[in-house]
Amino acid sequence: TSTFLFLPQTPHYASPDIDECARDLDLCQPHGVCENTEGSFVCMCEEGFTLAKDRQSCEELPHHKKECYLNFDDSVFCDSVLATNVSRQECCCSLGAGWGDHCEIYPCPVLNSIEFHTLCPDGKGFILDETILNYGIPTHRDIDECSLFGEEICKEGKCVNTQPGYECYCKQGFYYDANLLECVDVDECLDESNCVNGRCENTRGSFHCACPASTTYDPAQKKCIPTSKIDKVTDRRDVCWQLRGEDGMCSSPFGGQQLTYEECCCRHGKGWGYQCHACPPRSP
């Protein structure tokens, strides 16, 4: 007779998959999307980023260049490009509010946040310089905003780099508007003391005080005074104008040379000085 031994097999039950993405919402953030896989997960990184060594986050590709944006105002952000070929570090560690291209912007990290300190370890205005090593230690250098962003941050002015940051110097009669990033004309006419007894007219970088008939603007007193009171024998020289319109504006300077009030008004001109003082009528 034959003997048979029956050994029943123990059924195999597969363990349920754990969704790591649902369990930890911070996985792959802030520059990637977590996708669950059988028994694991994978980070799908945004353009310009690659999987980090920990395989749980995304880091910026070295030397990847995009556009740097000044703000996120929905109506103008596509027009607020500071520069078109900068790294995320150069942008977000200086003046940028967002970095990207084709109006697809990745917000810069909030100042003093953990992500900001990771991207900008030496703080605002400094960037890692991979070309310089001090005893094998990476060195951070100052960001030259004037070179990086050009006239976009100091329109109508002179940009001077500082450490950190920059200064924008404007011509006389202008002031720097840090929101517009440009030199803006000062409206001297807002100060009534600049043109007493006259009609103040603001001009680019200066102003003009139009005085009533028989009066002339005295810049020392900042007011219109009777023409007879002006010292006509003064040695002070100024531009001599051959034409003076009814609006009190002068044009056609005489010979490109400066004359005294007497030399101008007695011989050549209709107006004298940069404030266009009216010359008295000459006898025919």
CATH label of the domain that carries residue 217: 2.10.25.10
In tens, the pLDDT along 252-267 reads 888 877 888 888 888 8
Higher pLDDT, 249 or 62: 249
The alpha carbon of 278 is separated from its chain's Cα centroid by a whole number of angstroms, namely 42
CB 200 within 8 A of CB 193: no
Number of domains forming the structure of the chain: 2
Beta bridge partners of 86: 66
Q: Is residue 40 part of a domain?
A: no
Q: Is residue 15 part of a domain?
A: no
| CA separation for the pair 204, 173 (Å, rounded) | 8
pTM of the complete model beyond 0.75: no
| CA separation for the pair 130, 9 (Å, rounded) | 62
Q: Is residue 250 part of a domain?
A: yes
Ramachandran quadrant class, 112 (left: phi over 0; alpha: psi -120 to 50; beta: rest): left
If you write DSSP's letter for every residue of 172-205 in order, what string do you get? TTEEEETTTTEEEE--GGGSGGGSBTSEEEEETT
Strand (E) or helix (H) holding 35: strand 32-37
Residue type, 64: H
In tens, the pLDDT along 115-162 reads 888 888 888 888 876 655 555 566 778 888 998 888 888 998 999 998
H-assigned helices in the chain: 20-23, 88-92, 114-119, 145-149, 261-263
Q: Is residue 77 part of a domain?
A: no
- Structural domain that includes position 242: 237-278
Do both 216 and 248 map to the same domain?
A: no
Do both 225 and 243 map to the same domain?
A: no
Q: Is residue 109 part of a domain?
A: no
In tens, the pLDDT along 34-90 reads 999 888 899 988 876 778 888 888 877 666 788 888 887 666 666 678 888 888 888
Q: Is residue 262 part of a domain?
A: yes
Q: Is residue 60 part of a domain?
A: no
Q: Is residue 264 part of a domain?
A: yes
